[in-house]
């Protein structure tokens, strides 16, 4: 809402009217009840006062504490950095005391990243949250590409090894057949019975 005020150039005295005109559902019912209680003076309050009332109504301290605990324990699940980033940004909009400045946001964001890019992020020392998010996405993309290339390379090596092993399986049978030729015993019938005895003497 404050971004809309800034973009539209909404005058300070019109901010409450502008904001309350956007309320829907239960929030609109709550505002109408406030109007009946305060009357025309409701529109004379400042945006900061209205924001405080809305925060007390819809963001009580107990709920804020739960969200702070959720932010404290927030980690990247799997390799899904974009979902982690979206959840982190939503929580930091509410848990303003928990991450009071840009440095605290950067440190907390990096603490929830995976170990395989955490070290690179810390050594890069990004200054802003936007810079940190962009760097985290780049590093994770690089890791995923490297992992995919490694998987492809390992599969190719495994396929090559399988083909080589399959080709070598026939060799023992050939050697075994050769061995049978040379290992014919003395008492076995030899296929060379036609050789002349004189030739046998010559061979000896």
Q: pLDDT (tens digit, 9 = 90+) per residue, 103-156? A: 999 999 999 999 888 888 988 899 999 999 999 999 989 988 887 777 777 777
Residues 16 and 78 in one domain: no
pLDDT of 200 higher than 50? no
pLDDT of 180 higher than 60? no
Classify residue 39: in a domain, yes or no: yes
Classify residue 69: in a domain, yes or no: yes
pLDDT of 95 higher than 80? yes
Give the pLDDT of residue 168.
Answer: 55
Q: How confident is the model at residue 16 (pLDDT cuts 50, 70, 90)?
A: very high
Closest to 70 in 3D by CA, of 91, 89, 44: 91
pLDDT of 160 higher than 80? no
Q: Give the C-alpha separation, 116 to 113, whole Å.
A: 8
Residues 30 and 107 in one domain: no
Classify residue 160: in a domain, yes or no: no
Cα–Cα distances in angstroms (integers) from residue 167 to residues 10, 158, 159, 178, 204, in the given order: 80, 14, 12, 19, 41
pTM equals 0.56
Residues 51 and 67 in one domain: no
Confirm if 123 and 143 have CB atoms less than 8 A apart: no
Closest to 110 in 3D by CA, of 90, 84, 149, 91: 84
Residues 82 and 37 in one domain: no
What is the average pLDDT across 80-99?
A: 91
pLDDT of 17 higher than 60? yes
- The total number of structural domains in the chain stands at 2
Can you list the pairs that 193-199 forms with residues at least 24 positions away whose Cβ atoms lie under 8 Å?
none
Classify residue 196: in a domain, yes or no: no
Residues 33 and 53 in one domain: yes
Classify residue 176: in a domain, yes or no: no
Classify residue 182: in a domain, yes or no: no
Q: Give the C-alpha separation, 176 to 146, whole Å.
A: 46
Residues 47 and 109 in one domain: no
Residues 106 and 143 in one domain: yes
Domain boundary pick from 58, 78, 94: 58
pLDDT of 181 higher than 50? no
Classify residue 44: in a domain, yes or no: yes
Give the pLDDT of residue 167.
Answer: 58
Cα–Cα distances in angstroms (integers) from residue 18 to residues 4, 86, 114, in the given order: 10, 28, 43
Classify residue 179: in a domain, yes or no: no
Range of the domain at 78: 63-149
Q: How confident is the model at residue 94 (pLDDT cuts 50, 70, 90)?
A: confident
Domain boundary pick from 17, 39, 58: 58
**Residue whose token pair is 């003076």:** 41
To the nearest 10°, report the CA torsion of 124, 130, 134, 135: 10
């Amino acid at each position: 809402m404050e971004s809309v005020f800034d973009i539209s150039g909404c005058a300070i005295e019109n901010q409450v009217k502008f904001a309350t005109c956007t309320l829907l559902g239960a929030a609109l019912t709550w505002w109408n009840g406030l109007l009946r209680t305060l009357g025309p003076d409701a529109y004379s309050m400042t945006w900061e006062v209205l924001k405080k009332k809305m925060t007390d109504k819809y963001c009580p301290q107990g709920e804020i504490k739960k969200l702070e605990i959720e932010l404290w324990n927030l980690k990247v699940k799997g390799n899904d950095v974009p979902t982690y980033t979206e959840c982190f940004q939503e929580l930091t909009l509410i848990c303003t005391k928990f991450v009071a400045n840009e440095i605290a946001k950067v440190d907390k964001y990096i603490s929830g990243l995976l170990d395989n890019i955490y070290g690179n992020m810390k050594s890069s020392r990004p200054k802003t949250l936007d810079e940190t998010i962009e760097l985290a996405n780049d590093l994770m993309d690089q890791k995923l590409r490297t992992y995919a290339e490694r998987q492809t390379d390992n599969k190719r090596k495994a396929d090559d090894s399988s083909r080589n092993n399959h080709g070598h399986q026939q060799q023992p049978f050939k050697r075994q057949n050769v061995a049978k030729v040379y290992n014919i015993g003395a008492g076995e019938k030899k296929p060379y019975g036609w050789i002349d005895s004189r030739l046998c003497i010559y061979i000896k």
